[in-house]
Structure 1
């Protein structure tokens, strides 16, 4: 049974005072006695568990021609499968005890969903960077998904069991210690907590070897150059002196090739109208900036692993001086967590994504917004919209050695704790975690157990492909 934590509520004079910091910490300690660490680290597969069936259920609402690409990408390795199987893990979580200590969750907190991006002040920050599945829920669901991702990725990289356990344990410990630290800080200090990428690299200078420092510096420098101008050079060509998005099917297909004739023209006009709707979700000052750009062209783009098959578009706009702005409009369906945990209902899942992102990130894209409207078949779909490239960069997990993965896992855990502390009751969570390493040990055991499960699930997907149950297009 899930027990909700007591949340402080603003009260008028004379009303009952909200729980004190000490009371909230004590509540977390009480929850730990009722739901010990071993309980949340349990993984007992439910009877009739069918991971492939869960993936097939998602395919029902996706672009049919793209679903085989998703299966092909997930079949490449156990880690690739894990990246695309947030629904499978959410279903598993629903069969295990939970703390009931809720916060805003990423919902898909594996280590490849953290990375670099440019803040409005044009500094590079490191933070959670994927919010398709964001939803309120038990804090440990995010932590368990992160720690298990390290074990799965460590296996794919050929790390020993001892090395994997050290990596997973360091990640869990970093989360616990950071949450404890945040519980000792004031409200504003906790809210503003973030990681500056350049500063962090300087602090790690004595820890990383020279070749690793060079790779990290190269990633940071490359991220600084990833903007709309760079996207223009990569994704477009000049036709009659005007930039046009290059067709590279099935990954990038201009809208006039997805639809033809008058249908394409009508949809183009519809997109212009819907862009105006999106504009109204921006802050007034951002609208002044956005209004200086005019619409040029749209193309469908295949993105990610788990997201493949959802509708994703890139939109090219141009300023009066010819400077480009690339936006990404990505379909937002219900979070994979919604059917497993009580929470708010949303009339627009694009707004759900944007709200969760703004709550969890220390700083967010100034052009982050949402939109809703019917597609060519008359089906109403939700979208969230952001800049396509705004200093974005991510680590290459496959090239990490054990020491680097341990450091990277700790960074991910730290910003995840920052986000959870910002959105939830950091005092109760810190009280639950305690000051010893029992939580770290329990999650390390869970990580290895779930890595075993992931390898079995990956094998089940490969078998389903071999048996003809599903069709996969590898290498795309």
Structure 2
């Protein structure tokens, strides 16, 4: 087994492949694919009646476009030299894919919350996507270029500082590292900001299955049913409901024994198709209502289609053949405390799905309302959280040695972030032109 000194030398040796300052470069190559063509290729096997919603949501702003264009950025990152220092990537470390979530013990944590694109790859790809999203968000909030650069650099600094700290800790200490939501309040300086954060925490704690029961269901002929709110929420037809009942046992088999026994205490009540996210729109997604002791003891599960990760065509094969297994294993590895009902299975026509609890305290920050100081602090927190996630799978000592004690890497990635923010504005305009020309159809505001 390599010593810490050997691992540190491995990280420093990666600077010969890609210097830290080299990460600041971004220039689209002449062979770069048209971003709309990339999105259309993704949409070929999605539900066609929902694609207009996806394009409408992405057309809303450059930040929304970037959120839905993980495949576009994956190709751009793959065209650049990389360090070869591999971690389990989130694959979509966009600023809006961090937030609050509840642990199995019902503690509220701050963590990554989207893992559809998780895959092993170079650590800096996640860092660059986070920094780019911070820069785009800063511009949309009306911040100056200097403030946008500072916020992006803060995200990278948070990552580097946390990775260097974690490199000095033992394995179990790193594994059990987490960010408790209540510990965030002392970091907020203004009384107004603290009040907003406390309000956000309160709302997140209320985002449970019981709260969802009142919002997502109604009583029809004495039976609890999921409401009809097309096109975003539509009751599953008889064939889909029968299929979900049938595949429920396959999903159950991927849980540990004690969790299967817990799940067996619930009975199937109703199911509906649900539209979620931005980049995910068009994928097959359902929610299932289960009842435990009685109808006031609900459990909502979400069943979402899992596809090939956007990173897979650019990287060596990963350890999992089943896309749902890939998502579940990646989430369990990256999150400090994962949902106890995470599982996967194969559905009709060989489609892969994964299951998880709906809501469960999840809440993202209101990035659009952040002033420069607030966004800078939040970006640093996201960078710190991303380092914690990466340290559970990658060689944290090698990565820390590569990053070093100076801010060379921080400044370079912040430079990249602003350049890629320019690219995102151009790509967003390209989508707008395609919509105007009728190449793709968009349904704004849905």
1:318 and 2:291 matched: yes
1:32 is aligned, of 11, 15, 19, to: 15
2:171 is aligned, of 187, 208, 212, to: 187
Secondary structure of 1:66's partner?
helix
What is the distance in 2 between the residues matched to 1:290 and 1:221? 28
1:221 and 2:195 matched: no
Shift, 1:407, TM fit: 0.9
Secondary structure of 1:60's partner?
helix
Secondary structure of 2:48's partner?
coil
Whether the 8 Å CA contact 1:39–1:96 is kept in 2: the answer is no
Whether the 8 Å CA contact 1:43–1:92 is kept in 2: the answer is no
What is the distance in 2 between the residues matched to 1:345 and 1:429? 22
1:241 and 2:222 matched: yes
What is the distance in 2 between the residues matched to 1:61 and 1:79? 25
Please name the residue that 1:23 is paired with. 6
Please name the residue that 1:370 is paired with. 344
Counterparts in 2 of 1:443-454, with a 5 A limit?
443-454=413-424
Shift, 1:283, TM fit: 1.0
Please name the residue that 1:260 is paired with. none
1:344 and 2:318 matched: yes
| Runs of 5+ unmatched residues, structure 1 | 1-17, 257-263
Secondary structure of 2:65's partner?
helix
What is the distance in 1 between the residues matched to 2:328 and 2:74? 21
1:289 is aligned, of 259, 262, 269, to: 262
| Runs of 5+ unmatched residues, structure 2 | none
What is the distance in 1 between the residues matched to 2:431 and 2:102? 37
Please name the residue that 2:368 is paired with. 398
Give the alignment's Cα RMSD to 1 decimal: 1.0
What is the distance in 1 between the residues matched to 2:353 and 2:345? 5
Please name the residue that 2:69 is paired with. 85
Secondary structure of 2:301's partner?
strand
Whether the 8 Å CA contact 2:24–2:411 is kept in 1: the answer is no
1:63 and 2:33 matched: no
Whether the 8 Å CA contact 1:44–1:96 is kept in 2: the answer is no
Whether the 8 Å CA contact 1:42–1:96 is kept in 2: the answer is no
Whether the 8 Å CA contact 1:109–1:143 is kept in 2: the answer is yes
1:144 and 2:114 matched: no
Given the two structures, how large is their TM-score scaled by the length of structure 1?
0.92
1:95-132 deviations in Å (ceiling 9; x for gaps): 10000000000000011000111101110000001000
What is the distance in 2 between the residues matched to 1:423 and 1:333? 22
Whether the 8 Å CA contact 2:23–2:409 is kept in 1: the answer is no
Shift, 1:345, TM fit: 5.4
What is the distance in 2 between the residues matched to 1:122 and 1:319? 18
What is the distance in 2 between the residues matched to 1:346 and 1:54? 24
Shift, 1:38, TM fit: 2.9
2:107 is aligned, of 99, 114, 123, to: 123
1:258-293 deviations in Å (ceiling 9; x for gaps): xxxxxx2x4322211211111111111111110011
Secondary structure of 1:386's partner?
strand
Shift, 1:90, TM fit: 0.3
Comparing 97-106 with 379-388, greater Cα deviation is found at 379-388
1:55-113 deviations in Å (ceiling 9; x for gaps): 00001011000001000000010001000000000000111000000000000001100
Please name the residue that 2:25 is paired with. 42
1:159 and 2:143 matched: yes
Secondary structure of 1:339's partner?
helix
Comparing 137-146 with 18-27, greater Cα deviation is found at 18-27
Given the two structures, how large is their TM-score scaled by the length of structure 2?
0.98
Shift, 1:373, TM fit: 1.7
What is the distance in 2 between the residues matched to 1:63 and 1:267? 14
Matched residue count: 444
Whether the 8 Å CA contact 2:96–2:365 is kept in 1: the answer is yes
Shift, 1:190, TM fit: 0.9
Shift, 1:32, TM fit: 1.1
Whether the 8 Å CA contact 2:25–2:415 is kept in 1: the answer is no
What is the distance in 2 between the residues matched to 1:459 and 1:271? 40
What is the distance in 2 between the residues matched to 1:187 and 1:143? 23
Secondary structure of 1:185's partner?
coil
Counterparts in 2 of 1:168-183, with a 5 A limit?
168-183=152-167
What is the distance in 2 between the residues matched to 1:304 and 1:267? 21
What is the distance in 2 between the residues matched to 1:295 and 1:413? 40
Shift, 1:39, TM fit: 2.5
Secondary structure of 2:363's partner?
coil
Comparing 269-278 with 100-109, greater Cα deviation is found at 269-278
Whether the 8 Å CA contact 1:125–1:195 is kept in 2: the answer is yes
Whether the 8 Å CA contact 1:40–1:99 is kept in 2: the answer is no
What is the distance in 2 between the residues matched to 1:345 and 1:58? 23
1:222-258 deviations in Å (ceiling 9; x for gaps): 11011111111001110122111111100001012xx
What is the distance in 2 between the residues matched to 1:235 and 1:84? 25
